[in-house]
Amino acid sequence: MARTEISTLGEFGLIRHLTKDLKAVQPSTCKAVGDDCAVMDFTNAKAKANADQRVLMTTDMLLEGIHFNLEYVPLKHLGYKAAVVNFSDIYAMNGTPTQITVSLGVSSKFSLEDIEALYSGIRLACERYHVDIVGGDTCASMNGLTISITCLGVAKEKDIVYRNGAKLNDLICVSGNLGTAYMGLQLLERERMVAQSYPNGNAPAEALRFEGKEYLLERQLKPEARRDILEALHKAGVKPTAMMDVSDGLSSELLHICSQSGVGCCVYEDKLPIDFEAAALAEEMNLNIVTCALNGGEDYELLFTCSLDDYEKLIPIDDLYIIGHITKPEYGCNLIGRNGEEITLKAQGWNAFQD
């Protein structure tokens, strides 16, 4: 396959190459790539913004060897995921993502074609979620690949949902299923080890056991932000009292909500949404699927609390599960096992500074 050295384009040539045909879709984007700064107007009539509209901002950095392994992560999938995880943060505030900036640190081992593949994934995510790429930066890296994305979004002030709003007796809800992305990662790591046992890591396709596990791979390599759940809640007339996305594990996120809201929680093991494929692989690998569901991370599902009065409105929403309720702070944060035993929840998921 042809390989074009990035050095033949230079920094600005690379930026022009990657962004030459970008078209803005957000009415708040006045000027995207091409000047010293992007220009946005979140108050103009064209954007249909109201006086109480607020701008949301989040940023996320991914480092090769820490957050992703290019031995099994395709660059297009990596670009898609890098964008979507930022969108998920905006949705977790009950907002709408509108623009992103993309900054890349690229070592000499990557060709122009590699960066094109990465950028194609970012652009695909932006197209699907109606988000504009409005700027960023590229620079040479001494070691591997670094991706840093900043995302802007909007929400009316009255609609924003923080982590600190959970109240006594609120319902605890989560979308999708839990632990599936983690099991996808375990599958990829297992088969990576198999591949390494062959000369030059070239294992024949029949030696790798991926068949029938495509959903697990997709949840790890190409997650989706749950815009659909917010749309369903809005249609049902439900506003969560507190909300987060599940990036570091359910236990960790629940503890954040409870700590910032000054409450406790009670979650039921038999209510946790667990995918059959994930459970089957966990059994095959001698892993406890409940532990994986509580601490696995990278599911990017929405975890939120709602008033008990909204119970009847929540029931018809597809792919939404009520897994527990908020308690008094002195009760603590507990998982109720299938036999009625109480287990204290601990944050055992992803920790960026843990050895």
Whole-number average pLDDT of the chain: 89
- Does the pLDDT of residue 35 top 70, yes or no? no
Q: Give me the residue label for tokens 């979004």.
A: 153
The half-sphere exposure of 208 on its side-chain side, counting CA atoms within 13 A, is 19
Residue 349 in tokens: 């998921």
Residue 19 in tokens: 């962004």
Sign of the torsion formed by the C-alpha atoms of 218, 352, 68 and 349: negative
Residue 311 in tokens: 């119970």
Sign of the torsion formed by the C-alpha atoms of 176, 178, 182 and 188: negative
Percent of the chain with pLDDT over 90: 72
* Cα R_g (the chain), whole angstroms: 22
Predicted confidence at residue 31, as pLDDT, reads: 73
Percent of the chain with pLDDT over 70: 88
**Higher pLDDT among residues 152 and 16, named by residue:** 152
Domain 10-157: give its CATH code.
3.30.1330.10
- Does the pLDDT of residue 59 top 60, yes or no? yes
pLDDT category of residue 16 using cuts at 50, 70 and 90: low
Amino acid found at 148: S
Digit-coded pLDDT (tens) for 251-297: 999 999 999 999 999 999 999 999 999 999 999 999 999 999 999 99
How large is the angle between the packed helices 112-129 and 10-19, nearest 10 degrees?
40
- Does the pLDDT of residue 163 top 70, yes or no? yes
Query: Which residue ranges make up each domain of the chain?
Result: 10-157, 171-344
Using CA atoms, how far residue 68 sits from 73, 107, 274, 326, in Å, is 7, 15, 24, 35
82 and 147 in contact (C-beta within 8 Å)?
yes
Q: Give me the residue label for tokens 């992803």.
A: 350
pLDDT category of residue 43 using cuts at 50, 70 and 90: confident
Digit-coded pLDDT (tens) for 191-232: 888 877 777 767 666 667 778 899 999 999 999 999 999 999
Give the Cα separation of 123 and 130 in Å (integer).
Answer: 10
Predicted confidence at residue 193, as pLDDT, reads: 83
pLDDT category of residue 355 using cuts at 50, 70 and 90: very low
pLDDT category of residue 51 using cuts at 50, 70 and 90: low
Q: Which is nearest to 175 in space by CA: 264, 267, 243? A: 243
- Does the pLDDT of residue 347 top 90, yes or no? no
Domain 171-344: give its CATH code.
3.90.650.10
Q: Which is nearest to 176 in space by CA: 305, 275, 271? A: 275
Strand locations in 164-247 (E) = 171-175, 242-245
Predicted confidence at residue 197, as pLDDT, reads: 76
